[in-house]
Amino acid sequence: MFLRMIKGTLLRQWKKMLMIAFTIALGSSLATAMLGVMLDVGDKVNQELKTYGANITVVPKRASVIGDLYELEDGGTSGAYLKEDELGKIKTIFWAFNIVDYAPFLNAAATLDDGSEVTVVGTWFDHHMDLPTGEQLDAGVVSMRSWWEIESGAWLDEQAGADPDAAMVGTALAQRLGVTAGDTIHVTGSTSDRTLKVVGVYDAGGDEDDQIYVQLGTAQALDSLEGSIDSIEVSALTTPDNELAERAAKDPSSLTVSQYETWYCTAYVSSICYQIQEVITDSVASPVRQVADSEGAILEKTQLLMILITILSLIGAALGICNLVTASVMERASEIGLMKAIGAQNGAVSALVLTEILITAVIGGVAGFFAGWGFAQIIGHSVFGAAINIRPMVIPIVAVLVVLVTLIGSIPAMRMLLRLRPAEVLHGGH
Amino acid sequence: MKKSTMFVRMITASLMRRRSRMVVALLSIAIGATVLSGLVTIYYDVPRQMGAQFRNYGANMILTPSGDSMTLDDVAAGAACIPSDQLVGMTPYRYETVRIRETPVVAAGTDLESAKKTSPFWSVEGEWPSANGELLLGAAVAEQYRLKVGDTIEVTYTPEELADASADPATVTADEMILFDVTGILDTGGSEEDHIYMYMADLETLTGTANKADVAELSVSASGDVLAGYVERVAQGSDAVSARLVKRVTASEATVLSKLQALVLLVTTVVLALTMICVATTMTAVVTERRKEIGLRKAIGASDSSIIKEFMGESMLLGLLGGVLGSMLGFLFAQEVSVHVFSSTISFRPLLVPITIIVSIAVTGLSSLLPIRSATEVDPALVLKGE
């Protein structure tokens, strides 16, 4: 009987119920889309901020003390190098998944034919790696120097089996020497000399404009430094620093065991640095403050902004649903009066009305969830060009929200109606 | 006159009698209007506020000498080509090689107050120098010389023309020497750690030459074409200096900022569309509920147009009230967001008030028109019978 009555209402008053379901669907799609975007916006913006380049640099322990001070007369005076064969280990640290890109650098001082000095930088361009985890990674300066403008020629392509003599030249140097893509430059290193083929000229808007970029092996050969590198730049997705991270960065041993664990297992820039130092022998990894700090500030602001907009839209959606549900319950005053007049208990009436509304709410809520998921994907694809990854926690939040809001909307109205005397309601005297 | 007073009285009486229902409807319209005015205000304000956040990355433009050297006055003249409300900071730097314990170190003379603005990411352990005779040490330099905050060091400068003859004891005495207090250690993770930073006046005393700068860093709160326009302006306005953009900062900022703007725009659109539909359904429900009343009026002889007019008047009055309420609440919301997220206030946009009110009147009007129409078309007998 109960079921038949509910079915009756849903079928007879389908128009009204459809409208309620529609509003609930709107509300829940809004909640799903906003929560989905809000929870994912940190990761997405973090990816975007990678265009600023590396946020961690790794240098050999001794060199970091003496620094670049003597690099003017360089050629190998600092004598401390990192080992090239350890590079793969960076992708084996705890936060390996957060390392999106990295590239080694080796600066070799070379002499041009006209006797002037030039820095030849050996690095990875689009180096392909097959990681022990089965993953594949293309890392190098092509993605880490996204602000470089190629003025002539193209990026040096390592994967296409490039010639070891291929080189890219900075625009200032290229102008001085009068070379463009296709020309050759003869450079003499401390132990050997090479004739480099220019494949591209870049404009970096900085010191790099006076340098020559070649593949790592080529630069190593100039100074007979096979297997050695000067520094590594790492681009990692990080969590903005907090007080714990700042303390840990100064001295990890000052933390208690549980604090240490929290710190080690959170993607703070300092804990990633620490983990890199653990795998690369005699290295010092330090955050590039210009990038790391600014990233943190921008991420935090964007997330906070999205949270506040989400709260506003959640309140809006909740009030909208609440209103409509109250309206629809109030509308049924005479029906409820009639049921009471023919002897229905308050409990039975409430159960009936609530069940009807909740069934409608669930249908609307589920439809709305999928619509909201769609909205989130539209936002993700048009803004970031990538799908928004809706966190599983969105489902229970939206479900609880819909049920709670529906109950809050209907219960006070029901209580009011139940308090009324059936005769009054039926007489129509409200 | 008489007819119009009757019209007003009918509308207000109807609103008063059905107070609770009307409050519900008004609330929903007000929420819609709040979302509208609040989000649009935020949308217009975000580029400015976010742009300010991006200045965390430091200087996005540098001034270099067009010829061999430039004076501090040239730098100031160059910076004057940029509107002062757009200029976050301007810091001139002069680099000289000085000696600490007979080993060479690059010293930068600068205005440390404005360096704080153009390089907000500098992390200083201890205090920033606040007077002449105080020094900021790069972390690498501090480690090399085993210096800490609070130490005092002697910094000497050997003029270039005398450096070659350093074997001659007579010239060594010509060195300028100043005793500095180390007030802070600079940690940036970049090449700044290899330098020492002091006030320009100290470096001028050390070197004996004044009014000279090698480079000036500018942090300008503009991006894209506007920024490129400023480079042009400096090029036209000054012969002694030439401006260049720090490509790493400007190119990346343009990419990220445009994405953020697109994000807020899309989110605003989706939220607005859904909220407006929500308001519309509520209004439709409110009007549909009154079919009986419409039927009764028709039965006692009211014309369709007078019914439509009255009901529309009622909804639009609600729309007006909701719009006014919403534009105020929306501004408050946007202000809250701005204060909490960016710790700065936003300016009130007067144009947004009429827009919000018009939109909310339009939405309520349109969404009640359809159900009123359908109610008036039905035979009053049927409506009154309750089917």
Mean of pLDDT over chain A: 83
Domain interval for residue A407: 2-46+296-427
Contacts of A333 in chain B (CB under 8 A): none
pTM, two decimal places: 0.77
pLDDT digits 0-9 by tens, A238-297: 888 888 888 887 777 888 888 888 888 888 888 899 899 889 888 888 888 888 888 888
Which domain-ending residue is among A243, A267, A287?
A287
Q: Which of the residues A40, A62, A313 would you substitute to probe the B interface, choosing the one with the greatest number of B C-beta atoms within 10 Å?
A: A313
Place B281 in a pLDDT band, splitting at 50, 70 and 90.
confident
Q: How confident is the model at residue A232 (pLDDT cuts 50, 70, 90)?
A: very high
Query: Residue A152 pLDDT more than 90?
Result: no
Identify the band that residue A300 occupies on the pLDDT scale cut at 50, 70 and 90.
confident
Shortest CA distance to A430 belongs to which of B333, B19, B79?
A: B19
pLDDT confidence band for A345 (50 / 70 / 90): confident
Answer with the residue of higher pLDDT: A83 or B1: A83
Chain B nearest-CA distance from A279, in A, is 20
Q: B27 lies in a domain?
A: yes
Q: Any CB–CB contact under 8 A between B39 and chain A?
A: yes
Point out the domain boundary residue: B245, B264, B288.
B245
Same domain, B103 and B48: no
CA B25 – CA B318 distance, rounded (Å)? 8
Asked whether residue B13 falls in the same domain as residue B77, the answer is no
B284-336: per-residue pLDDT in tens?
Answer: 777 777 777 788 888 888 888 888 888 888 888 889 999 999 999 999 988 98
| In chain A, % of residues over pLDDT 90 | 9
Highest mean pLDDT among A14-23, B228-237, B268-277: B228-237
Q: A326 falls in which pLDDT band (50, 70, 90)? A: confident
Yes or no, beta carbons of A293 and B191 under 8 Å apart:
no
Ranges A101-115, B161-175, B269-283: which has the least confidence:
B161-175
- Does residue A366 register a pLDDT over 90? yes
Structure confidence at residue A371 (pLDDT): 93
The distance in angstroms from the start CA to the end CA of chain A is: 30
Q: How far is A157 from chain B (nearest CA, A)?
A: 22
Residue A368's pLDDT band, with cuts at 50, 70 and 90, is: very high
A428: left (phi over 0), alpha (psi -120 to 50) or beta: left
pLDDT value at residue A77: 44
Which residue do the tokens 């401006």 mark? B243
CB contact (8 A) between residue A317 and residue B274: yes
CB spacing of B341 vs A52 below 8 angstroms = no
Find chain B residues with C-beta within 8 A of A66's C-beta: 140, 144
Is the pLDDT assigned to residue A65 strictly greater than 50? Answer: no
Number of domains present in the structure of chain B: 2
Regarding whether B23 and B84 lie in a shared domain, the answer is: no
Closest partner residue to A379 (CB to CB) among B42, B260, B270 is B270
A185 strand-pairing partners: A196
Asked if the model's pLDDT at residue A367 lies above 90, the reply is yes
Asked if B121 is an interface residue toward chain A (Cβ–Cβ < 8 A), one would say yes
Of B187, B191, B267, the CB nearest to A37: B267
Give residue A64's pLDDT band: very low, low, confident or very high (50, 70, 90). very low
Mean pLDDT of B146-161: 82
Same domain for B216 and B354, yes or no, is no
Structural domain of B363 = 2-53+256-385
Residue A21: partners with Cβ closer than 8 Å, 6 or more residues away: A360, A361, A363, A364, A367
The answer as to whether B231 is a domain residue is yes
Do A131 and A164 fall into the same domain? yes
Phi, psi of B48 (to 5 degrees): -65, -50
User: Looking at residue B17, what is its pLDDT?
Assistant: 64
Q: Which of A301, A413, A9 minimizes the C-alpha distance to B256?
A: A301
Is the pLDDT confidence value at A8 over 90? Answer: no
Distance from the Cα of A126 to chain B's closest Cα (Å) equals 19
Instruction: Assess if residue B26 is contained within a domain.
Output: yes
Q: What is the DSSP letter of A239?
A: B
Report the mean per-residue pLDDT for chain B. 82
Q: Is pLDDT of A74 > 50?
A: no
What's the whole-number mean pLDDT along residues A89-118? 87
Residue contact B256–A45, C-beta within 8 A? yes
Q: Per-residue pLDDT for B282 more than 70?
A: yes
The partner residue sitting opposite B248, judged by closest CB among A53, A328, A382, is A53
Among A252, A287, A322, the domain boundary falls at: A287
- Residues of chain A in contact with residue B291, where contact means CB-CB under 8 angstroms, are none
Instruction: Give a yes or no: residue B139 inside a domain.
Output: yes
Domain end position, chosen among B193, B221, B245: B245
Substitution target in B248, B250, B279 with the highest count of A β-carbons within 10 Å is B248
| Overall domain count for chain A | 2
The confidence score (pLDDT) of residue B1 equals 54
Q: Please report whether residue B161 resides in a domain.
A: yes
Same domain, B277 and B186: no
Nearest-CB residue to A382 (from B28, B187, B266): B266
- Comparing alpha-carbon positions, the chain B residue that sits nearest to A286 is B189
pLDDT of residue A428: 56
Question: Which residues on chain B are in Cβ contact (under 8 Å) with A297?
Answer: 53, 56
Q: What is the mean pLDDT of the segment spanning B262-268? A: 84
